[in-house]
């Protein structure tokens, strides 16, 4: 798939330089099903939102999922105080490595390519690998299990939740709070913003009055400015991808 957003082609990120890069563990670090007690990360929760909690099948088209996961990974680094967003650009504010291997991987790449700061460029670049990387991290925590689907000559791998209740919790929590007009905390506000800007909100708020959708928009509009900047770029990239998807 083409994940380069409009106007970003001239900012192609070159192949990685020779520098030490964290490597994902090759085997799970926790037993299957034991990850439910772990504190969930933003990209993990968005992965759950973007897939059916029983079958693991996607609720979004591929490009929207990829860009949403890329934005969620950047959002994790913002939440960890490693980066911020200024206008349409990403800025590293603390290069000390996070403990999470995937956050470490993304931050190292940002540090290694200081000439490339456009948020849309990074959404496109990270989107090419975000699905497999986030799925791998969740598999290591016992949250997902890979499964082959399709006919022999067209098989593909999907990741099925190991615990339906854990997989449904992100969706149920956001839906309940929004339907009851409850103020979202910082984490859920960002998660709801990711859902809204990848066009998941019609499914999340299915059957609700227009006032509920207006409440979601109002909540997102009061997010911290760096989060709003990230979401604005995500919305533009996904909107362009949707238009391309419909006209292709």
221-236: pLDDT as tens digits: 999 999 999 999 999 9
Provide mean pLDDT across the span 24-35.
37
| Rounded average pLDDT over 55-63 | 93
| Angle at the Cα of 226 from the Cα atoms of 77 and 91, rounded to 5 degrees | 55
Residue in 63, 18, 65, 72 with CA at minimum distance from that of residue 44: 72
| Rounded CA separation 12/80 (Å) | 27
pLDDT of residue 186 exceeding 50? yes
pLDDT at 174 over 50: yes
Average pLDDT over residues 146-155: 80
Per-residue pLDDT band for 31 (boundaries 50, 70, 90) equals: very low
Cα–Cα–Cα angle for 18, 15, 233, nearest 5°? 120
pLDDT at 241 over 90: no
**pLDDT bucket at 153, cuts 50 / 70 / 90:** confident
CATH class of 35-163+224-247: mainly alpha
pLDDT score of 39: 72
pLDDT at 19 over 50: no
- Higher-scoring residue by pLDDT: 24, 96: 96
- Six token digits for residue 92: 């590293």
Rounded CA separation 108/85 (Å): 17
Rounded mean pLDDT of the chain?
85
Predicted local distance difference test score (pLDDT) of residue 25: 41
Model pTM score: 0.84
Q: What is the pLDDT of residue 45?
A: 97
**CA proximity to 158, closest of 239, 12, 50:** 50
3-state per-residue secondary structure call for 108-124: HHHHHCCCCCEHHHHHH
Structure tokens at 192: 């709801």
The two structure tokens encoding residue 145: 């299990």
Q: What is the pLDDT of residue 157?
A: 85
């Amino acid at each position: 798939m083409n994940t380069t957003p409009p106007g970003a082609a001239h900012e192609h990120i070159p192949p990685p330089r020779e520098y030490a890069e964290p490597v994902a563990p090759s085997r799970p670090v926790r037993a299957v099903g034991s990850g439910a007690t772990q504190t969930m990360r933003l990209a993990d929760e968005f992965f759950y939102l973007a897939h059916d909690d029983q079958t693991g099948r996607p609720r979004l088209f591929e490009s929207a999922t990829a860009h949403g996961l890329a934005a969620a990974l950047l959002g994790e680094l913002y939440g960890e105080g490693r980066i911020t967003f200024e206008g349409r650009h990403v800025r590293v504010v603390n290069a000390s490595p996070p403990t999470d291997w995937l956050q470490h991987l993304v931050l190292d790449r940002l540090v290694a390519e200081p000439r490339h700061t456009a948020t849309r460029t990074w959404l496109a670049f990270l989107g090419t690998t975000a699905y497999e990387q986030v799925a791998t991290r969740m598999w290591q925590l016992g949250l997902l299990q890979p499964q082959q689907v399709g006919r022999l000559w067209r098989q593909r791998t999907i990741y099925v939740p190991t615990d339906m209740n854990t997989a449904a919790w992100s969706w149920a929590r956001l839906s309940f709070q929004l339907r009851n007009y409850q103020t979202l905390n910082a984490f859920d506000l960002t998660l709801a913003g990711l859902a809204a800007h990848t066009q998941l909100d019609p499914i999340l708020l299915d059957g609700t009055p227009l006032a509920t959708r207006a409440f979601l928009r109002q909540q997102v509009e009061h997010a911290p400015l760096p989060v709003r900047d990230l979401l604005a770029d995500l919305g533009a990239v996904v909107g362009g991808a949707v238009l391309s998807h419909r006209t292709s």
